[in-house]
Amino acid sequence: MNILITGGASGLGLATAEAVWKEGWRPLVVDVREPEQDFEHAIADLADRGQAERAVTELAERAGGLDAVVTAAGIDACGRLADVPADDWDRVIMVNLLGTASVVRAALPYLTRSRGKVVTCASTLGLRPLSDASAYCASKFGVVGFTRGLAVELRGQVGVTLLIPGGMRTGFFDGRPEQYRPGPEAGLNNPADVAQTIVFALGQPPGCEVRELVVCPSTETSWP
């Protein structure tokens, strides 16, 4: 199977690409930077719809179609609304929400032909808001709504799964002020374990769908 993965050069995206490869499937990575692993890839800034669409089309045509898309790319801009520069705030929405929609839209012709699957990546903060994270929460609440609407729209044509992960041990928290980093008590998940839940969803037969998956550290406070 040809699996297109956004954000596949790091974090959950990379873990998913590696899990897909180990499964014997073909990972196709879209990211703003080249992956260190020798995965087929296209460079694109998901905040730019044209770049996102071109990357999807390029990889799909090169691979001879798509069987699934996993939208794992995501960014954040921590701080109170009055303190986060407007451009930074807007970019979170553009990458996390609009970039997700752009990638899925571009992939739909291929996925419809293959009766493929979409797995979007939201967050526990897409269900439960947190102070100083208005951009991230807005984007991930949007991904939740987008995905639930998409599942209704595409039923019987393309499988749709909403992944709602809690915190993971990735570079996502690097460079943040200490107040915005998870404490040691959070016990964050290994992204490789979360990636296995994506593989599980992708491996279901046509017509059998894992509609939503909440996967979070047992001691993290973001859920429930």
Rounded CA separation 53/55 (Å): 5
Sheet with 26-31: strands ordered across: 40-43, 26-31, 2-6, 68-71, 117-121, 159-165, 212-215
**Would residue 136 show up in a list of annotated catalytic residues for this protein?**
yes
Candidate list 39, 89, 110, 136, residue with the active-site label: 136
Query: Active-site positions?
Result: 136
